[in-house]
Structures are given as structure tokens and as C-alpha cells.
């Protein structure tokens, strides 16, 4: 594995231990998860125990120790989205993608995540696919968005 | 960017900015808040930029990409000044028409105006829109006047003048006295007097002292801090610098949730600009005072909104709270005195310094001063951010500003205070909204989430939702919270599945008491609130689940089934949309739902035009 980027990221934060969370964010953005080799390298560069870094990486929900899919689907489970039918959308996505939240489809295309609140409560239920927000979701709309991405990939006209 | 080294420099800069702005005949502001982004405001902005350039109007018209305007449900929002025209739901295709008709000929486009929900009248100016009319937008109002990525815009509206006043005309003690006299209380939820906290931190032993802005807005359903930091980051920086000067702080952090990328970005830009301009760093405005700020990102842990957990997170550690026998003002970040305030609290500071404590304390009611921003969301017509004077009633917020129920169903409660708060029933909607009144009825102000619930919301399901939320977010350090919430969640699960029994409610109440009394931090101590308030005001709903195995709101899937009545016209829309192909029937004949295949997603009910799909 090419770990040059990890070096670069740690340099950017001047090897500050307090920047650990920011470093992990950047590494995850780069590799789409936190590879063990990268964590070991961060540990040695920050002169920290690998256990401590593992503790942080598993405590915070944003981090993943397993590779994520190409497209990330984030579904908001905040209160406003909940009362407007967020759980129905989750049920639909789970059955459509055949995965649970936190998992990735076997073809490594989609990862499904749920978060506490995306902070776009006024237009709930909200879903975010690859950093793009979709408001006023319904189960069927959510499925169509995923289908569209899938079709684009396989070249089918939608 | 120019560097300001003195008060004179700052005034000169402002004069130059205003002179430059005068050249423009018109300003077109496109809302760039996250809500409008979801509706495609970026394309609208780009289209305006292209159109203005192509028509050679860029010397006359200023295009501004602002922060959140609050009325997110109607996005993308475009306003045109000085005419004061307010367009809502603007799409890319509308832009050329706005350019030629409104900007070119001064004609107002009816189809883009807001239509009053009760009078059906088209309204052209922002101030006349019922959503805005009752508001007092001291903090949010500025979002519409500036581009958050341009420090010049903030300077132009009088930004950093309060800082200049604090640095050159006031002693640190005087500033603290002024904040104390204003009656400002922490906007993060608990409502601790801000001036007192500053005073304690100023007199705490140890150096350096740290200043923290808490933008770990974890309460689900609340997003006012996000909009402030995204839309007007300099006002927060200005508040923090004034606070640091009063307290004697030398370094500051803005702790932002990782889920808020735009807030991180705009905060970062503002810090860099303020540094370049000499408003952060060494010798601020030539006063001899040094202070700098950096952004610290969270990692998606709700508990990190708690001060001691937040401090641990900034230190790069696991965000576990500690016992608060020693407060963070005495021993906080790296064991040093630390003053932590919420985003909205910091944003109020420049206003108090500039306009005085007397002016500030004239707004609000006896024990809660100033305004408070709420995110009015859920089953209400006008959703968005509302800023109102403290003491306004819930009824005014929900019905006058919010426009009442979303789809005709009766509103039955409003949830405030997030997972630490509770549900307030409609019978108490005459209650004034302030720190103390909400606590009295078993809820709390919290950071300002206000989630409206109607007859289609099941209160048992809501209680269950919050308990599972907190169970998931409990850091696990102390037993009552870790295990207690788990058991409470199991009891509530059983009730919603129709397996609750006579003892369930008594056990739930007993557990609530233990968790509240013995948990280590605020998360556990307040965790039972949503359950207790739901039991207090909506006990019959719990009993219906237990005794009659029925969910009155039609939400709990184990207790409901979807059926199609004789009213069905056989249009086939439901069968087409059903994700599990559970609906069968001939064209133009009454359809039927095959219960074994039905996933109870409700899509058929949403799509049925004759309301033939019913929940039983």
C-alpha cells in the first residue's frame, strides 16, 4: 500500500497529537477507510501507542476500519426526519441494497450509513449521496436515486 | 487584503468598502445555506453570474451568495435589493426571466412570490411574509446581508466595531460586567449565565487560558449553530476575541461536527481572512492583545457536545466525559482554565458590546433575555430557522410563524430540547418559551430544536427513538447510562411490538429514576426526560399499545396493517409503486394488499389519490 499520502497528511498537521481526529478524517477521505498500515504509521509518527489510536478510531462513528463502497449513502435519522418517515426509507434501502447500516454492498459500489442529524431538518427526510443532499425523500424516490447511479455505471439509459 | 493596525485603519477600510458598494445599483442575493443547496441553489447562482456577465451588467449589479436565510422549506431563495423583492423556489430556468423582467424592467414575477397560506395573497417583500413577520432576527438577519467568504462584507455592515470598542474603550472587567448586566444565558441548552462563567474563568488560577466555541450541534432536529457558523462566521470570531480579551485567553478553538463540511470550510476561511487582516494573531488592531483561533473537527459522537468530553476530543482522545466536581473554567483543556460557550452565545456578544446591556436586556422576559433561534421542523407548514424574542408563546411560533399543521392533521405536541428534553402537549401551547418555563413542564430549551408532531406521530415510537439514540451514543463509561438505557430500550421495543405487559410502565419509570439520579454526565442524567414527559402527557397511547395492542397513530409496524377500501378506483398507481409487489388487482377493479408480502413502507398510501389505502 502506498502510504505517502499518510506522511503528507501528518506533515500538514505538523505531527501534532491533538490533530489526531483531523488526521484520521483526512486519511479516511484519501483511502475511503482507515487501513491498518496507515494507523500504524500515524502511531509511529505521532509517537503514540497504536492501541490509543485504535481506541479513537473505533469510538468516533465517522471512522471505518473496513473499506467503504464507491458511493456513500448517508441517511439522516434525526428527530425531524424520523417523524416525517425516515425509518420507512431506511427499511426500503436496506431491503433494496440487501445490507445493514454500516455495511457495503458485495460489489463494493454502495455503503449505507445512518447519522444522527445532517442539519438540514427543514426539508426532511434527508438523504446524502456522495456529498449531495436530497430533501423530502420517500422510499420510492430514494430507490430511484440509487437506481439512477447504478444505471449510469452500467451504461443503461435511465 | 489589507492589514488593519489601528482603529483608524479599520474605519478607513469600512469607508472604502461602503464607497465601493455604492457603485452598485442593485444587489441580487442567492441563499447558499445547506437547505437551499439541496434544492440546487448553486446552479441558480452560476446562472445569475453568467447572465449578469453576458448582459454586461456586472458593474451595476452585485451578486451575493449568502448564508442560510432561514426559510429553508421554500428554497432556493433569491432577494433583490434595494427593491426588497423576495423570490422563493427559484430554479435555474427562472434566472433569465428574472434578469430580463425584474432587473431589466422592474416587473415583479408573480409565480415566484410567496403565497400566504391563509389569505392566498401573493407577497413580494420579505418583511410581509408571515414566517418572518413575528421574528426579531438580530443574529440571523445579517446572514442575508453578507457573503460569509468575504470579510469585507462583514466589515461593511459594521463588523469588528464591537471588538474595537471593547479593546480601546473598555477594561476587561467592564466587559464582563456588561455581559452580566445583559442577562445573557448560555444558548447551548442549560442557560448558565454567561457573564458569571467569564468571571469565574478570568479569576481561575493558571495560564494559558483557552476559549472554546462549541459547534458540536448534536441534537437531532436542530441546525441553528450550523447556519450561524456557515452564514456569518466573523460574528462568532468577533465574539470569541472579545471574550478572550475579557477573560485573558490567548488561544481558541471552534469545535465543529464533521457532518457540517460547509461550516468547517467557512469557519476556516474566516479565520484565515481575520489573521491576514490583523484581527486575529499578534497585536490585534495595534492594541497589544494577542489571540488566535483554530478549527477542531469532531468525529460523529453526540456526547462530545458535553464540555468535558469535547475537551477530551480536542486533545485528540476518546470523548469520554469526566466528573464535573472541578469545572472546565478551572481545569479544562490540558488542565488549564477553559471558557466554553455555544455558537449562538458567542454571536450575541458583539451585539451586547456594541448596543449595550440595557438594550439587550429590554428584549425577552424577566429571566431570559434577548432572542433565541429555533429550528422549527417536523409536521408544520413553514419549516426553517426562526429567531424570536424570549417569552413568545409556543402557539405563536407554531401557528403564526409556522403556519400550523402540515397536511391538515391536528398538531398534538412539540418536542424541544433534543434527547435531553421532552414533548410538550398542545394543551400547554400558551406557555412562554424561556429557560425556566420549559424546564417546569418537564422539557427544556436545549439548543433550540422544535420538532412539531401531529396525530400521525406515535409518542411511544418517539420515546423509543430517543432512548435508542442515547443508548447508541452513550460512551459506556458509567453503568447506569450504558445498561439502564439498554433495558429501557428493550422495554419500549416490546411495547411497540405489542408485547408490553402490566409491569412495563412501572418498570420504565423506576429505571428512569435510577438512570437520572446516578449517571455521570448530562447525557445520562437527562436521558429519561423524553420517556417521562411522554408518559406524563401521553400515557393513554402507551396503554393502547399494551392493552389493546393498537398503535393509535398508525406507526408501529408490528401493530398495523395496510388495507385498500372499496373507494379504490383501480388506477394501479399503488401497485406500480409498491417495492415488494404486494398489491394485486385488475385494472379499474378494487385492488388488494397481500399481507405476507407487504413491507409496510406506506408508499401506496402516499401515492393514492382517493385515499383508499388505510391503516388498521
**DSSP string for B47-62:** HHHHHHHHTT-TTTEE
The mean pLDDT of chain B is: 93
On the question of pLDDT at A156 being above 80, the answer is no
- Same domain membership, residue B306 and residue B270: yes
Q: How far apart are CA B499 and CA B546, in angstroms?
A: 7
Arithmetic mean of pLDDT, B384-397: 95
User: Is B552 within the bounds of a domain?
Assistant: no
Using left for φ > 0, alpha for ψ between -120 and 50, and beta otherwise, residue B181 falls in: alpha
Residue contact B221–A117, C-beta within 8 A: yes
The pLDDT of A8-14, averaged and rounded, is 93
Span between the terminal Cα atoms of chain A, in Å: 37
| Helical packing angle, B529-547 and B479-496, nearest 10° | 30
Please state, for a pLDDT cut of 90, what percent of chain A lies above it: 61
Domain that holds residue B526: 459-547
Q: What is the pLDDT of residue B56?
A: 85
Q: Of B190 and B380, which is predicted with more confidence?
A: B380
- Residue B449: φ, ψ to 5°: -75, 140
Q: Hey, which residues does B61 pair with through a beta bridge?
A: B26
Kindly report the nearest CA distance between residue A149 and chain B, in angstroms. Answer: 17
Residue B420 maps to a domain: yes
Average pLDDT over residues B312-332: 91
Share of chain B above pLDDT 90, in %: 80
Q: Do residues B164 and B305 share a domain?
A: yes
- Is B501 in the same domain as B482? yes
Cβ separation B301–A92 shorter than 8 A: no
Name every chain A residue with its beta carbon within 8 A of the beta carbon of B260: 119
Q: Identify from B32, B35, B38 which residue to disrupt to test chain A contact, counting A C-beta atoms within 10 A and taking the largest count.
A: B38
B297 to A91: CB separation less than 8 angstroms, yes or no: no
Interface of A with B in 30-89 (CB under 8 A): 52, 55-56, 59-63, 77-85, 88
- If you average pLDDT over residues B522-547, what whole number do you get? 95
- For B579, which of A60, A83, A143 is closest by C-beta distance? A143
Structural domains in chain A? 4-59 (no CATH), 71-154 (3.40.30.10)
From A25, A60, A83, residue closest to B378, measured CB to CB:
A83
User: Is A140 in contact with B316 (Cβ distance < 8 A)?
Assistant: no
Question: Using 50, 70 and 90 to split pLDDT, how confident is the model at B323?
Answer: confident
Asked if residue B352 belongs to a domain, the reply is yes
Pairing of strands B251-256, B292-297: parallel
Same domain, B464 and B532: yes
B473 with B583, same domain: the answer is no
What value does the mean pLDDT take over residues B457-474? 94
Partner residue facing A116 (CB), from B299, B469, B599: B469
- Contact residues, chain B, for A82 at CB < 8 Å: 220, 462, 465
Q: How confident is the model at residue B351 (pLDDT cuts 50, 70, 90)?
A: very high
Q: Indicate yes or no: CB of A22 within 8 angstroms of CB of B296.
A: yes
Written as one string, the DSSP assignment of B242-259 is HHHHHHT--EEEEEE-TT
Query: Whole-angstrom Cα distance, residue B438 to residue B417?
Result: 9
Mean pLDDT of chain A: 90
pLDDT band at B396 (very low <50, low <70, confident <90, very high): very high
Question: Which chain B positions have a beta carbon within 8 Å of A12's beta carbon?
Answer: none
Distances in Å between the Cα of B492 and the Cα atoms of A68, A95, B13, B437, B495 are 33, 24, 61, 28, 5
Average pLDDT over every residue of B187-207: 94
Is B138 a domain residue?
Answer: no
Indicate if B183 and B315 belong to the same structural domain.
yes
Give the closest of A56, A63, A84 to B317, CB-based. A56
B379 and B402 in a single domain? The answer is: yes
Any idea what DSSP says for residue B595?
Answer: T
Interface test with A, best of B296, B378, B411 (most A CBs within 10 A): B378
Question: What confidence category does residue B616 fall into, taking pLDDT thresholds of 50, 70 and 90?
Answer: confident
**Single residue among B315, B334, B361 that ends a domain in this structure:** B361
Q: What percent of chain B has pLDDT over 70?
A: 100
Q: Determine whether the interchain pair B378/A119 forms a contact, defined as Cβ–Cβ distance below 8 Å.
A: no
Residues B194 and B246 occupy one common structural domain:
yes
pLDDT at B513 over 90: yes
Sign of CA dihedral B439, B492, B257, B382: negative
Contact yes or no for B593/B564 (Cβ under 8 A): yes
How far out from the chain centre does Cα B66 lie?
A: 17
Same-domain check for residues B237 and B355: yes
Size of interface A-B (CB pairs under 8 A): 167
Q: How far apart are CA B609 and CA B589, in angstroms?
A: 15
Q: What pLDDT is recorded for position A158?
A: 40
Asked if the Cβ–Cβ distance from A60 to B298 is below 8 Å, we say yes
The beta-carbon neighbor of A133 closest among B34, B315, B475 is: B34
Chain B residues whose beta carbon lies within 8 Å of the beta carbon of residue A116 = 218, 220, 300, 302, 469, 473
CA distance B65 to B391: 33
User: Hey, what's the cell of B608?
Assistant: 393514492
Q: Does A21 touch chain B (CB under 8 A)?
A: yes
Question: In chain B, which residues have their Cβ closer than 8 Å to the Cβ of A123?
Answer: 35, 38-39, 72-73, 75, 383
Q: Are residues B311 and B168 in the same domain?
A: yes
Judgement on whether residues B522 and B594 belong to the same structural domain of the protein = no
Residue B235's pLDDT band, with cuts at 50, 70 and 90, is: very high
Q: How many independent structural domains does chain B possess?
A: 5
Establish if B355 belongs to a structural domain. yes
CB contact under 8 A, B378 and A59: no
User: Is the confidence at residue A153, as pLDDT, over 90?
Assistant: no
Q: Is residue B314 part of a domain?
A: yes
Nearest by CB to residue B301, choosing from A19, A59, A121, is A59
Give pLDDT, residue B601. Answer: 81
**Residue B517 in this model has a pLDDT that exceeds 70:** yes
* Alpha-carbon gap: B60 to the closest alpha carbon of chain A (Å): 33
- Tell me the nearest-neighbour CA distance from B23 into chain A, angstroms: 36
Mutate to test the interface with B, among A77, A79, A81, A147 (most CBs of B within 10 A): A79
* Separation in Å, CA of A35 to nearest CA in chain B: 17
Q: Is residue B3 part of a domain?
A: no
Task: Indicate whether A111 pLDDT > 80.
Answer: yes
Q: What is the CATH number of the domain that holds B23?
A: 3.40.30.10
pLDDT in tens, A45-66: 999 999 999 999 999 988 999 9
| Cβ contacts of B599 on chain A, cutoff 8 Å | 91-92, 95
Hey, are the CB atoms on B258 and A62 less than 8 Å from each other? yes
Residues of A in contact with B258 (CB under 8 A): 25, 62
Considering Cα of B367, then B371, then B375, then B379, what sign does the dihedral take? Answer: positive
CB contact under 8 A, B384 and A122: yes
- DSSP states of B124-173 as a string? -BGGGSHHHHT---TTGGGGGG--TT-HHHHHHTTTTHHHHHHHHH--HH
| B297: nearest CB among A21, A117, A131 | A21
The DSSP symbol for B98 reads I
DSSP label at residue B406: S
| Nine cell digits for residue B124 | 413580494
B25 & B99 share domain: yes
pLDDT of residue A155: 63
Give the pLDDT band of residue B224 (cuts 50, 70, 90): very high
Span B401-439, pLDDT tens digits: 999 998 888 999 999 998 989 999 999 999 999 999 999
- The pLDDT-based confidence of B446 (bands split at 50, 70, 90) is confident
Is B2 domain-assigned? no
Say if the Cβ atoms of A123 and B73 lie within 8 Å.
yes
Looking at B419, B454, B489, the residue that finishes a domain is B454
What pLDDT does residue B244 have? Answer: 98
Q: What would the grid cell of residue A138 be?
A: 420517500
Instruction: Please choose, from the candidates B489, B486, B488, B474, the residue with its C-alpha nearest in 3D space to the C-alpha of residue B520.
Output: B474
Residue B218 banded pLDDT, cuts 50, 70, 90:
confident
Residue A157 has pLDDT above 60, yes or no: no
Closest CA to B402 of B386, B416, B417, B391: B386
CATH code of the domain containing B600: 3.30.70.20
Identify each DSSP E strand in B316-401 by its residue range.
338-342, 371-378, 384-389
Amino acid at each position: 500500500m502506498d502510504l505517502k499520502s499518510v506522511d503528507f497528511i501528518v506533515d500538514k498537521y505538523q505531527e501534532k497529537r491533538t490533530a489526531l481526529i483531523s488526521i484520521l478524517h483526512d486519511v479516511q477521505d484519501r483511502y475511503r477507510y482507515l487501513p491498518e498500515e496507515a494507523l500504524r504509521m500515524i502511531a509511529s509518527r505521532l509517537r503514540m501507542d497504536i492501541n490509543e489510536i485504535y481506541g479513537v478510531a473505533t469510538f468516533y462513528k465517522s471512522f471505518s476500519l473496513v473499506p467503504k463502497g464507491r458511493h456513500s449513502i448517508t441517511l439522516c435519522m434525526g428527530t425531524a426526519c424520523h417523524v416525517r418517515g425516515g425509518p420507512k426509507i431506511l427499511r426500503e434501502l436496506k431491503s433494496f441494497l440487501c445490507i445493514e447500516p454500516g455495511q457495503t454492498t458485495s460489489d463494493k459500489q454502495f455503503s449505507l450509513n445512518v447519522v444522527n442529524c445532517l442539519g438540514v431538518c427543514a426539508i426532511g427526510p434527508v438523504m446524502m449521496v456522495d456529498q449531495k443532499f436530497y430533501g423530502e425523500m420517500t422510499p420510492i424516490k430514494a430507490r430511484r436515486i440509487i437506481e439512477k447511479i447504478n444505471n449510469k455505471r452500467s451504461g443503461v439509459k435511465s | 487584503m489589507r492589514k488593519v493596525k489601528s482603529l483608524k485603519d479599520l474605519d478607513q477600510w469600512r469607508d472604502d468598502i461602503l464607497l465601493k458598494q455604492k457603485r452598485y445599483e442593485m444587489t441580487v442575493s442567492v441563499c447558499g445555506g445547506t437547505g437551499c443547496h439541496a434544492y440546487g441553489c448553486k446552479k441558480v447562482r452560476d446562472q445569475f453570474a453568467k447572465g449578469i456577465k453576458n448582459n454586461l451588467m456586472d458593474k451595476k449589479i452585485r451578486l451575493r451568495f449568502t448564508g442560510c436565510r432561514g426559510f429553508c422549506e421554500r428554497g432556493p431563495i433569491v432577494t433583490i435589493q434595494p427593491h426588497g423583492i423576495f423570490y422563493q423556489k427559484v430554479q435555474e430556468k427562472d434566472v433569465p426571466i428574472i434578469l430580463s423582467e425584474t432587473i431589466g424592467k422592474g416587473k415583479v414575477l408573480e409565480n415566484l412570490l410567496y403565497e400566504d397560506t391563509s389569505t392566498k395573497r401573493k407577497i413580494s417583500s420579505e418583511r410581509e411574509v408571515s414566517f418572518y413577520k413575528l421574528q426579531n432576527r438580530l443574529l440571523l438577519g445579517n446572514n442575508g446581508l453578507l457573503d460569509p467568504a468575504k470579510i469585507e462584507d462583514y466589515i461593511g455592515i459594521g463588523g469588528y466595531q464591537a471588538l474595537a470598542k471593547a479593546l480601546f474603550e473598555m477594561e476587561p472587567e467592564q466587559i464582563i460586567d456588561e455581559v452580566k448586566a445583559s442577562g445573557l444565558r448560555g444558548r447551548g441548552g442549560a442557560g448558565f449565565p454567561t457573564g458569571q462563567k467569564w468571571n469565574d474563568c478570568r479569576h481561575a488560577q493558571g495560564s494559558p487560558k483557552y476559549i472554546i466555541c462549541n459547534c458540536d450541534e448534536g441534537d437531532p432536529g436542530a441546525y441553528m449553530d450550523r447556519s450561524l457558523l456557515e452564514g456569518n462566521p466573523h460574528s462568532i470570531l468577533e465574539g470569541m476575541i472579545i471574550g478572550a480579551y475579557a477573560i485573558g485567553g490567548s488561544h481558541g478553538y471552534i469545535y465543529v461536527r464533521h457532518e457540517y463540511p460547509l461550516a468547517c470550510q467557512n469557519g476556516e476561511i474566516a479565520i484565515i481572512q481575520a489573521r491576514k487582516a490583523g484581527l486575529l494573531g499578534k497585536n490585534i488592531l495595534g492594541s497589544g492583545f494577542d489571540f488566535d483561533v483554530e478549527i477542531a473537527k469532531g468525529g460523529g459522537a453526540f456526547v462530545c457536545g458535553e464540555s468535558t468530553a469535547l475537551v477530551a476530543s480536542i486533545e485528540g482522545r476518546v470523548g469520554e466525559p469526566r466528573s464535573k466536581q472541578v469545572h472546565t473554567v478551572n481545569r479544562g483543556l490540558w488542565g488549564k482554565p477553559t471558557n466554553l460557550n455555544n455558537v449562538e452565545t458567542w454571536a450575541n456578544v458583539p451585539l451586547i458590546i456594541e448596543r449595550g446591556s440595557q438594550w439587550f436586556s429590554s428584549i425577552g422576559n424577566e429571566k431570559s433575555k434577548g432572542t433565541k433561534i429555533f429550528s422549527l421542523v417536523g409536521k408544520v407548514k413553514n419549516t426553517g430557522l426562526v429567531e424570536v424574542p424570549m417569552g413568545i408563546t409556543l402557539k405563536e411560533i407554531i401557528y403564526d410563524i409556522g403556519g400550523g399543521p402540515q397536511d391538515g392533521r391536528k398538531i398534538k405536541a412539540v418536542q424541544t430540547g433534543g434527547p435531553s428534553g421532552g414533548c410538550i402537549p398542545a394543551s400547554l401551547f400558551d406557555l412562554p418559551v424561556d429557560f425556566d418555563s420549559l424546564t417546569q413542564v418537564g422539557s427544556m430549551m436545549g439548543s433550540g430544536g422544535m420538532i412539531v408532531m401531529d396525530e400521525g406521530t406515535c409518542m411511544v415510537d418517539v420515546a423509543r427513538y430517543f432512548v435508542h439514540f442515547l443508548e447508541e451514543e452513550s460512551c459506556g463509561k458509567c453503568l447506569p447510562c450504558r445498561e439502564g438505557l439498554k433495558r429501557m430500550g428493550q422495554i419500549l421495543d416490546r411495547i411497540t411490538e405489542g408485547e408490553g405487559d402490566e409491569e412495563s410502565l412501572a418498570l420504565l419509570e423506576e429505571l428512569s429514576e435510577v438512570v437520572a439520579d446516578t449517571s455521570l454526565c448530562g447525557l445520562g442524567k437527562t436521558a429519561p426526560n423524553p420517556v417521562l414527559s411522554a408518559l406524563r402527557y401521553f400515557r393513554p397511547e402507551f396503554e393502547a399499545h399494551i392493552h389493546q395492542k393498537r398503535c393509535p397513530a398508525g406507526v408501529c409496524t408490528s401493530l398495523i396493517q395496510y388495507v385498500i377500501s372499496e373507494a379504490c378506483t383501480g388506477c394501479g398507481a399503488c401497485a406500480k409503486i409498491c417495492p415488494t409487489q404486494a398489491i394485486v388487482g385488475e385494472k379499474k377493479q378494487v385492488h388488494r394488499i397481500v399481507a405476507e408480502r407487504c413491507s409496510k413502507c406506506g408508499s401506496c398510501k402516499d401515492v393514492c389519490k382517493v385515499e383508499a389505502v388505510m391503516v388498521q
